[in-house]
């Protein structure tokens, strides 16, 4: 079975490397040639173009920035849809708007090509070590056919429903993560201003109901002033904007999501877009005229 992979960015590059390490026959393409070189050095084959990779793939994986890029790569002129064989499968692992996933799937179905939307959670560290959480939408029989492939890149792969359900689940994940970081930031700035060490607050609450994977991952980063991106604010803005768009389309109230989205956009204007989303604490620090640290 030949696997194609298009999109070798922060997430796609380590994900494709894990597929090569697990023994899959992989052909890769990206406009960033050095990233292609990295994966080819491990044993992947180099694709000449999107169509070249698609024509040689039984399953094609895409990992791209957002909905417009997915539509262009798959449905645009010279795109994958022109070259994928009948009966082949597209697995789009990008985090995009659910309605865009449905649109792409409908166009592919006209060509008898199956599709799964399978966005991931875990950021670059879990992409590197192959422990991503993968949320999948599409036909259950297609999911079952691709599950082992997905688990070569993640520690879990859960079928969430029909096409688009994977991205709905990812948007829910991103809302919860963003609101957790905002709550942590608000609480730590309160502690700082009131004279109680944020580190002591963290150690006191992490084992109770307020504890979470988000708190354990992001509190140490904030207190160490380490905002090297595991997941950039720019990308979280994209996801929350997709959530707001989807909420408007289905009539879901997203009051808190909108508020955190505007906080992140403010930080983006301050030049923090490429910082880790734990840098959301800087929004509160600026207003409170304080800095949280150990």
| Residues with catalytic roles | 170
For residues 132 and 153, the answer to whether their CB atoms sit within 8 Å is: yes
- Cβ atoms 34, 57 nearer than 8 A: no
Bridge partners, 73 (sequence order): none
- What residues pair up with 92 in beta bridges, in sequence order? 62, 117
Round to whole Å and give the CA distance between 44 and 272: 35
Cβ burial of 139 (10 Å; 0-12, 13-18, 19+) is middle
Task: Compute CA 64 distance to the chain's CA centroid, rounded to the nearest angstrom.
Answer: 9
CA torsion sign for 54, 166, 274, 203 is negative
Q: How many CA atoms lie within 13 A of 229 on its CB side?
A: 13
Beta strands in 10-153 (DSSP E): 25-29, 45-46, 59-62, 89-92, 114-117, 120-121, 132-137
State whether the Cα torsion 217-220-222-224 is positive or negative.
negative
Is beta strand 2-6 parallel, antiparallel or unpaired with respect to 59-62?
parallel
Q: Give the residue among 158, 6, 165 at the shortest CA–CA distance from 99.
A: 165
The backbone torsions φ and ψ at residue 147, rounded to the nearest 5 degrees and listed phi first, read -60, -45
> If we measure between CA atoms, which residue out of 156, 134, 152 comes closest to residue 18?
152
């Amino acid at each position: 079975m030949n696997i194609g992979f298009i999109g070798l960015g922060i997430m796609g590059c380590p994900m494709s490397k894990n597929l090569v390490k697990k023994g899959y026959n992989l052909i890769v393409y990206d406009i960033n040639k050095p990233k292609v070189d990295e994966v080819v050095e491990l044993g992947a084959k180099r694709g000449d173009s999107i169509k070249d990779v698609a024509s040689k793939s039984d399953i094609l994986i895409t990992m791209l920035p957002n909905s417009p890029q997915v539509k262009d790569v798959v449905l645009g002129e010279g795109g994958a849809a022109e070259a994928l064989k009948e009966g082949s499968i597209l697995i789009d692992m990008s985090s995009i708007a659910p309605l865009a996933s449905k649109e792409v799937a409908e166009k592919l179905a006209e060509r008898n090509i199956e599709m799964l939307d399978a966005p991931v959670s875990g950021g670059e560290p879990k992409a590197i070590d192959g422990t991503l959480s993968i949320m999948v939408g599409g036909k259950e029989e297609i999911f079952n056919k691709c599950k082992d492939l997905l688990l070569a890149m993640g520690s879990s792969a859960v079928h969430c429903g029909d096409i688009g359900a994977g991205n709905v689940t990812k948007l829910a994940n991103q809302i919860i993560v963003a609101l957790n970081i905002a709550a942590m930031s608000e609480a730590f700035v309160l502690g700082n201003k009131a004279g109680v060490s944020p580190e002591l607050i963290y150690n006191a609450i992490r084992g109770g109901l307020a504890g979470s994977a988000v708190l354990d991952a992001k509190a140490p980063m904030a207190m160490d002033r380490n905002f090297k991106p595991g997941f950039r604010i720019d990308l979280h803005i994209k996801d929350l904007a997709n959530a707001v768009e989807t909420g408007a389309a289905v009539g879901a109230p997203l009051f808190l999501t909108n508020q955190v989205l505007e906080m992140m956009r403010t930080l983006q204007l301050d030049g923090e877009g490429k910082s880790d989303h734990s840098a959301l604490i800087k929004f509160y620090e600026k207003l409170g005229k304080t800095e949280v640290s150990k």
